[in-house]
Each structure stands twice: as structure tokens, then as C-alpha cells.
Structure 1
Amino acid sequence: MARIAVIGAGMGAMATAARLATAGHRVTVYERTKTHGGSVGGFTREGFGFDTGPGLLHLPAVWRDFFVKTGKEPLERSVALTQVDPSSRHVFADGTAVGLPNASRGGVVSALDTALGAGSGERWGEFLGRARETWERVRRPLLEEPQPASGALPHDDPYPALRRGLLRRGARTLAEIGERELRDPRLAALLASYATVYGLDPRTAPASAAVLPYMEQTFGSWYVAGGVRALADAVHARCLARGVRFVFGSPVTGVVTRDGRVTGVETGAEGTVEADAVVSGAPVPSLYEEHVVGWERQEEWPHWQSPVRTGRVTVMLALSGGRPADAAHRTVVHPAGTSAEWAALAAGGVAERPTVTVLRPDDPLLRPDDGHEPVTLTATVPAVLADASWETAGPRVADLMVAAAEAAVPGLRERILWREVRTPDDIRAATGSASVPPPALAGAAGALLPAANTSPLPGLYFAGGWAHPGGGLAHAGMSGALVSGLIVEGAGFRGSQ
């Protein structure tokens, strides 16, 4: 039985802790805040409830595997899941709207043909076929196997782009796929939004980011009754059932080493704690920037997704009036093109019309009665503003988001009873970083590969969104399986077979 210290109580860290405890190890989690879940938070007020992090679950098979492997129980015994249908509704700048059925490629093709014109669905369907080829090439190395500590995964973009034009050059970025292969500004906006919601600029995101819409449209979108925060509560409960010990309000201020190997951690609540291995679910950059892990030269830092400099603003709205029966659970409101939005983001600002995601769950657990409705808005923003603070800019950005969201919720402003705004500063307080990491992506010369699960320091492992296989709720669960496998089975562990 090994002694394992876990830094942070985020989803990836808890997924690792429960698996290690199930394998017989003695596991203690040290969390600097007073609660678990990391970015998967919740907010309640006056009978209204909101997710402050992700509002939908994709690839639920990851968490089904977690609950089976840590207790031989189905996920649905711990939380209630329902498929969201339509998976999403999209409102474009010209007023066109389309609802995309959940996990139905044929349904999506038909819906696009009806809303955008004949041939639109066929082009999107052909694109998804190429995205599937990309998925099949990257699935194991980018999701199911540990990344080598050297980060030496193939850097070539595996997307099989169409060759068009005089030079027969294929698309190299997601935006170029929209222009060259989809050939409709609305389809291009639809595609670009899958990058934008993960904080990726579609003008520079590699063509391999095509796997993002492929995963969602193939495996579906799911809602957790009571909000996704209920999943974090269930994972925490599973940790406790397996004997994991939690110490809240106890930051880890240092990783202790001897003879070049980890031997423990310095904690705020219990001082120096000995450990045979340490798992960090904290953002990898903060570990080094705050000198939690000792280092002499910056070249010693592990690789992570350094180009990512975006966070999110979340606006929680308490509305008078009930939710219409035909309201979509999720609506994405698109601006007129993405260039202006991303030019503003690159300059450290927010465009007047950002891409806004509107969530309207039909969940009695989240509203005081049927005469009221909770609505959540999210938008991608700079993690740090160039010429203002989030304390002063937050209300203005929230106003821009509410104005955009009226395309999805007519009469929205007149229905608002009150609102709460969460900015990147709040994300930093909850997770240790104002930036939100995307999933691992191939191509881009390896710039979008996160830190490997094994660190440069023997005995220290990385889990969570800043570690392989990157950000996202499902990916956090995958990191737990990979890290626990490396600790239990050793360096020869190659992931699930």
C-alpha cells in the first residue's frame, strides 16, 4: 500500500484518487479552497440553481467506466442523465436558425439542408466523414494512451483535407476548412464555434480540431439532473466511499524531494507530509510559476498548451416567467463572422458581438417554481484584459452577452430579476488559473499538446485539464484513468486495450 498525496480536488484529481484508493493505496487530497470539483462549480440563490462550469456532459462513457471500475455500479445509479435533443440550436447573424438533432448524422444533414439550403447538409456530412478519419487516427495516442514525458507524439496534422485551387493545397486550419470545404458562411460559423467555445482561434486552430464537432455529434450531449455540479458531488462521494481522505482549506506550498525523487508535500494544514507519489490536479503552469515544484531553469518546465490565453465569462440570469415548452436546451448565437471577435480577443479585448452560448435546462431542481426560469450565458474572453480589470469590465461584457442572447430568448432583458457574473478572476480563484485549457489536439507543431502525465520529476504525476489528454469534463476523467494506471502498473502502462 503506497501513500499518495493529491494536490487539488478537481475532477481529474478526484478521478485519480478514487481509482488509486480502489487499487488499495492510501490517498489524501489537499485542496486549497473549501470545496471539491474545481471548475465544475455551482451557484444557488432564491431557489435558482446554475452551473458555473460546464453545463453539458459529452462522452459519458468515460464517467460510466469510472463508476464501474471504482464500485461496480452504473453511473446512472449516482446521477440522472438525459440526452439533450436537439443537441444544439444555432442562430446565425443573418437570422437563420437551425436545430441539430442529438447523435444523428442523418438528422443533422437533413436539418442543415432544410434550414440552409440543399447541399448544405451533404457538405457538412462529407466533412464529418473526414473528421471521422481524423478521430480514428488520433483516438488512442491523444485520449487512451499516456503521452510520453518527452511530448514526442506525432506533430503532423492528420486531417485529410480536400485539395482545391491551382496549388492544390488543402485546408490547414479550422477556418480554412469552413472557407474551402463547407463554402457557406453559416456552415463556417457553425464549425468555428466548436473551436471558440474551447478558447481556440479558428483562424489558427489546426484542421485536426475537426474532431471536436465529430465527437459531439457522434457521441451526443447529455444533461445531468440538478446540473453538472451533481456529477462532481457524485465523484466526491465515490472517493469518500473508497476511503479517500480530503483536507480542505489546505494549499500545497511545496513538493518535497530527496535524491532527485518526490518524497512528500508541504501543506498548509498538516505541515510536511510524506508520500510515495504525488498527483497534482492543479494547473501545471501555476506549479512552476509559484515554485511549488523546485526548478532552476525554465527549460526544466514540462510542456503545456502555452498558446492558450483565454478564459470565460459566465452570466447567470434569474428570469420571471416560465420556460417555453419548445425552448432549446442550448442555443449558440453567432456574430457576423469570427475575424472581428478573434481580432479583439488577440488584442486583449472583447468584441461588441461575441459568440454566446445560451443554456436553458428544463430542470425543476434549478428553479423555484414553474413561473421562473434560470438561464446561463457563456462567452470566450481573454484571461487577462489589455486595458482594464475584470472587476470593472465584467458588467459591460455581461451586457454585451445579454444583448446577443436576445436572439435566442426574445424579451430577455425585460424578464431579468437579477444576475450573477463570473469572470476569469473567479475561474482563477476556483482552479488556480484564469485560462481554460482545451482538449489535446494534433498538429500545430505540438503547441496544443498538454503536459504529459509523468512529470520531469520522478514520483510526481499530472492529472486534470492542464495534463494529457487536456481540458474538458470527459478528458479530466480520462486523465484519472491514465495517471492511476501509470502508478499502479508502472511506466509500461499503455492505457486501456
Structure 2
Amino acid sequence: MARIAVIGAGTGAMAAAARLAVAGHRVAVYERTETYGGAVRRFERDGFSFDTGPGLLTLPAVWRDLFVKTGKEPLEDRVELLQVDPSSRHVFADGTEVSLPNASRAGVVAALDEALGAGAGGRWGDFLVRARESWDRSRRPLLEEPLWPNWRVLAEREPYPAVPHKRLLRTRRAATLAEIGAWELRDPRLTALLESHALAYGLDPEAAPASAAVLPYMEHAFGTWYVLGGIRELARVVYERCLARKVEFHFGAEVTAVLEKDGRAAGLELADGTVAEADLVVGTGPWRLGELVRGRELYGVEDVEPRPEGGAGGRVVVCLALRGAREAGAAHRTVVHAPDRRAELDSFGLGEPPARPTVRVDRPDDPALRPDEEHESVVLTATVPSGTLYDWTAPGAADSFADRMVEAAERAIPGLRERTLWREVRTPVHTEAETGAEGGAVPAPALAAAEGTFLYPANSTRIPGLFSVGGWSHPGGGLPHAGMSGALVAGLIVEGPDFRGSQ
């Protein structure tokens, strides 16, 4: 039985802690804030509650597996999972609207044909078939296995089977998500639908590899799910599962250094001078973990090296407390697409928030989130540059951008401003305070191809006994990937370096 110290109480770290405790280890978690969950937070006021991190869940099987592997009580005995239908409603720049059924290819094809014209649904359906092939080729090495030592194979091979495209007497294949939209989907609204999945993770569709086709495929194939009471409830039950398995939590405990003995990780030093001895250390993101090891290199020149977190996108969240009941049949999630795609993407390249952003509108039909049936809780989310690229603390910066988000959201909810009792605006500054991520950036899932630009460092490091977990290490960001990160770290510790992945 080993003593294991875990830095941070994010969802990935807790997933690792629960699995390690079940394996018989003594696990202690040191979290610098006063609560668990990392980016999976909740804002509450006047009887209203809001998810300020992820609003929906894909691949719930990752979390079901955690509960199966750590106890007799399954996930559905702890929370109620609801499949959202439609999975999303889309309001395009030209005013066209479409609601997409959840996890139904035939239903999606029919809905797109009816809304966008004959043939649109077929092109999207054909794209999903190719996206499935990309998923089948990359799922295991990018989600279920430790990062391969020969990771360059993943970097060099594009798993998406792009359709040949003849251009200027040459035949080319789409190498980026934007090229898939232009050459294969051939409709600006389908392109917007495709690219919105990348934007939600802070990815530039013109830079994201074609392999990013797996992002809409995950939602289509495995459904979109909501946790009754809010996604924060998922973090709560994972925390409670850790407590049930005797994991110790120390809140308000900021780690200032990883201690070493005889060349191995041997514990933690805390801001108050306390030393927590350990046989193994499970750390936070590699970029920040590198600052805690005092001159040691976590990775070699042949490894995927940590990149500054602040270069990734962040998000602005606007919590709206509304008077008036939620109308019957309202979609849980509506994506209001930017009226000018080119201008939105150009603004990201300049490190500035877009003048007219794409906005995700979440309207859960959940009594737990509102004081009574005569009020409604709504969350608006937009992807923005992180706090290292844009000063979100500048006077008026947050509120003026929130105004533009509300203006966009009124295309989905007419009269939104007149119904607003109050609002809470949260920027990358809040994300940085809650997660520690530089500039409040949010990690995207790992993606194949693009010379490894979208891969993350391995969970094991060059320092024996020191591991990295969470969205900034393999297999990247997002709730499913965070859960798998915890599973991979636990497997590497319990089974050793010969561990070949989750079954």
C-alpha cells in the first residue's frame, strides 16, 4: 500500500483518487481552493443556480465505468441522467433554424433536409460516416490508452478519410475542419454547424485538423446528456465516492513544490510550510507541474512537451435570472451562430473577443435551478481569448462583451433583456481563480495529425513516481477525457508501465 498525494480536486484528479483508493492505496488530495470540481462549478443566488462550466455531458460511459470500478452503487443510483432531445437547436446567420434529434442519424438527416434544403442532410450524414471512421481509428490511442512512446505515428497520420477535392488542376483532401466544411459540406450553415463544435472547445476551425471531426461525432453517436440538478452534481457524487473510499481531502492547501528523495517524487510542500510525505505524487497540468519540480525536466526532447496554457481559448459565461416561466418545448441548448464567420475567426487570431460571437444558450428544464415555476435560469457561453491574450479586467471589458452575448441570445429568446432580473458575468479571470489554468484557458480534447500540435504530454513523467492528470495532459480536455485521464493514471500506478489501457 503506497501513500499517494494528489494535487488538485478537479474531476480528473478525483477520478484517479477514487480508483487508487479502491486499489488499496492511501490517497490524500490537496486543493488550493475551498471546494472540489475544478472548472465544474455552480453559481447560486436568490434561489437561482447555474452551471458555470460544462452544461452538458457526452460519453457518460466514462463516468459509469468509474462508479462500476469503485463500488457497488452505479452512477444512475447517485444522479439522474437525462438524454436531451433535441440535442441542440441552431439559429444560423441567415435566420434559418433547425433542431437536431439526439443520437439519430436518420432524424438529423431529415431535419437538415427540411430546414436547409434537399441534399443538406445527406451531405451531413455522409460526413458523419467518415467521422465515425476517424473515431474508430483514433479512439483507443487518443482516449483509452497511455500516450504511445511512438506518438509521432499519431502526429503524422490523419485518421479522417477526406473526400478527394479537385482544385486548380490538383486533387487535394481536407486537412482542416474548415476545409471539410468548404469542400465536403458546401453550405455555410452546415459549415457553421461543424465549426461550432470546435469553437466550443476554443479551437480555431482553420487550424484544427480534419480529425476534429470526432467532436460532432461523439455528440451524435453517444448522445447529449444532462445531469438533473446541473452538471455540478456529477462532481459532487464523484467527490462523495472518493470520501466513501477513504480519500482524504485538504482544502485551502496550496502546493508550492514537489519534493524528491533519491531521484523520486517523495511528497509535497505546502504554502504554509507543511510537508506532506508520499511515495507517489499525482500532479496537475504539466505546465504548472513543471514549476513545482524546481529545475527538473518532466519530459525529454523525444516527448510531447507541455505548452503554455494561456495560448488556448477561454470562455465568458453569463448567468441570467429571468422572470417568467420557461415556455413548453424550449430546447435545452440553442447555438446562435455568429453573423460573420470570417470576422469571428479573425478576431481570435488577433487575440480579441469577437464583436458578434457565436453564443451557446442553455435553458435546462430543471426545477432545482430556479426559485419557482414563474422564473427561469439561463446560461450563455461564448469562446474568447484567454486572460493572457486579452485584459478581461479592463473597465467595461466583461460587461460590454456580455451585452453582445445577450443581444445574440435574443435571436433565440425574444424579449430576453426585458425578462432579466439580474445577471452574473464570469470571464477567464474567474476560470483562472477556480482552476489555476494560466489566463483561465480551457483545454480541448487531444486530436491526431497536425504534427502533434493537438496532443498533450503523457501522464507519466521522467521523474519516477510523478504523474500528471487532468485536461492539460493526455488525453486532453472535456469531461469524458478528464475521466479517462484519471483512469489512465490509476492504471499506470496500479499495473505499472506495462499498462496498455482501459478495457
Look up the equivalent residue of 2:25 and give its one-letter code: H
Structure 2 residue aligned with 1:364: 367
Over the aligned positions, Cα root-mean-square deviation in angstroms equals: 1.6
Instruction: Write the mapping of 1:9-158 to structure 2, written as runs, cut at 5 A.
Output: 9-148=9-148, 151-155=151-155, 156-158=157-159
Contact 2:347 2:354 in 1 (8 A): yes
CA contact (8 A) 2:141 2:148 kept: no
CA distance in 1, matches of 2:358, 2:380: 10
How far did 1:340 drift? Answer: 1.1
C-alpha separation between the residues in 2 aligned to 1:79 and 1:30? Answer: 26
- Is the counterpart of residue 163 in structure 1 residue 167 in structure 2? no
Taking the aligned partners of 1:385 and 1:240, their CA distance within structure 2 comes to 36
* Paired residue secondary structure (1:344): helix
Residue of structure 2 in register with 1:445 after alignment: 451
Query: How far off its partner does 1:270 sit?
Result: 6.8
- The answer as to whether partners of 1:305 and 1:437 remain within 8 angstroms in 2 is no
Give the equivalent residue in structure 1 for 2:227: 224
Matches within 5 A, 1:83-482: 83-148=83-148, 151-155=151-155, 156-165=157-166, 166-268=169-271, 271-280=274-283, 282-288=284-290, 291-295=291-295, 303-304=305-306, 308-384=311-387, 386=389, 388-392=391-395, 393-433=397-437, 434-482=440-488
CA-to-partner distance for each residue in 1:434-459, whole Å, 9 max, x for gaps? 11000000011101101211012111
Distance 2:195 2:208 in 1: 9
Q: CA deviation at 1:306?
A: 5.2
Tell me if structure 1 keeps the 8 A contact 2:340–2:356.
no
Whole-Å separation in 1 of the counterparts to 2:312 and 2:146? 25
Residue 154 of structure 1 aligns to a residue in which SS? helix
Distance 1:263 1:115 in 2: 60
Deviations 1:410-431 (A, max 9, x none): 1101111000011001000000
Does the residue aligned with 2:159 lie in a helix, a strand or coil?
A: coil
Question: Which consecutive unaligned segments of at least 5 residues does structure 2 have?
Answer: none
The residue identity in structure 1 corresponding to 2:127 is F
Deviates more, 1:295-304 or 1:364-373: 295-304
Alignment partners' CA distance in 2, 1:36 and 1:373 = 27
* Separation (CA, whole Å) in 2 of partners of 1:389 and 1:325: 37
Q: Any conservation in 2 of the 1:178–1:187 contact (CA below 8 Å)?
A: yes
Deviation at 1:268, TM superposition (A): 3.2
- TM-superposed deviation, 1:221: 0.5
Q: Matched residues in 1 for 2:298 and 2:398: separation? A: 33
After superposition, the Cα gap between the structure-2 partners of 1:298 and 1:473, relative to the gap in structure 1 and judged at 3 Å, is closer
Q: Return the alpha-carbon distance in structure 1 between the equivalents of residues 50 and 298 of structure 2.
A: 40
Per-residue Cα deviation, 1:54-85 (whole angstroms, up to 9, x for no partner): 01111000000001110122111110110000
Letter matched to residue 183 of structure 1: R
Contact 2:89 2:334 in 1 (8 A): yes
Contact 1:89-1:328 at 8 Å conserved across structures: yes
2:275 partner SS: strand
For the 8 Å contact 2:50–2:377, the answer to whether it is kept is: yes
* Distance (whole Å) between structure 2 residues aligned to residue 386 and residue 431 of structure 1: 18
* Offset of residue 391 of structure 1: 4.8
**Letter paired with 2:429:** D
- Are the aligned partners of 2:322 and 2:375 in contact in 1 as well (CA < 8 Å)? yes
SS at match of 1:358: strand
1:278-329 Cα shifts (integer Å, max 9, x gaps): 001x2322222xx212226797596245584210000000001010012100
Q: Which amino acid aligns with 1:109?
A: V
One-letter code aligned to 1:62:
V
Structure 1 range deviating more: 297-306 or 98-107: 297-306
Quick check: 1:39–1:53 contact (8 Å CA) kept in 2?
yes
Length, aligned pairs only: 494
Q: Deviations over 1:265-286 (max 9, x none)?
A: 1123571121111001x23222
Deviation, structure 1 residue 152: 4.0
Contact 2:320–2:379 (Cα < 8 Å) also in 1:
yes
Structure 1 residues 89-108: Cα deviation after superposition (integer angstroms, max 9, x where no partner): 00000000000000101110
Change over 3 Å in CA distance of 1:247–1:316 after alignment to 2: same
- What is the alpha-carbon distance in structure 2 between the residues aligned to residue 387 and residue 252 of structure 1? 28
- CA distance, structure 2, for counterparts of residue 305 and residue 294 of structure 1: 18
Residues 366-400 of structure 1 deviation map (CA, whole Å, 9 limit, x = unaligned): 00001000100000000036564335311111011
Looking at structure 2, the residues matched to 366 and 299 of structure 1 have their Cα atoms a distance apart, in angstroms, of 44
CA contact (8 A) 2:15 2:483 kept: yes
Q: Distance in 2 between matches of 1:208 and 1:241?
A: 39
- The DSSP-based 3-state class of the residue aligned with 1:168 is strand
Give the Cα separation in 1 of the matches to 2:237 and 2:306.
29
Task: Please tell me the residue identity of whatever aligns with 2:285.
Answer: P
Measure, in 2, the Cα distance between the counterparts of 1:232 and 1:154. 31
Paired AA for residue 461 in structure 2? S
Give yes or no for contact 2:287–2:307 (8 Å, CA) kept in 1. no
Corresponding residue SS for 1:58? coil
> Can you list the C-alpha shifts for 1:223-245, whole angstroms capped at 9, x where unaligned?
00110001100000000000000
The alignment partner of 1:255 has SS state of: strand
Equivalent residues of 1:87, 1:102 under 8 A apart: yes
Q: Percent identity?
A: 62
AA in 1 matched with 2:467: Y
User: The residue matched to 2:62 in structure 1 has which SS?
Assistant: helix
CA contact 2:134–2:211 (8 Å) conserved in 1: yes
The structural deviation recorded for 1:149 is 5.8
1:255, distance to aligned residue in structure 2 (A): 0.5
Quote the Cα distance in structure 2 between the aligned partners of 1:153 and 1:421: 43
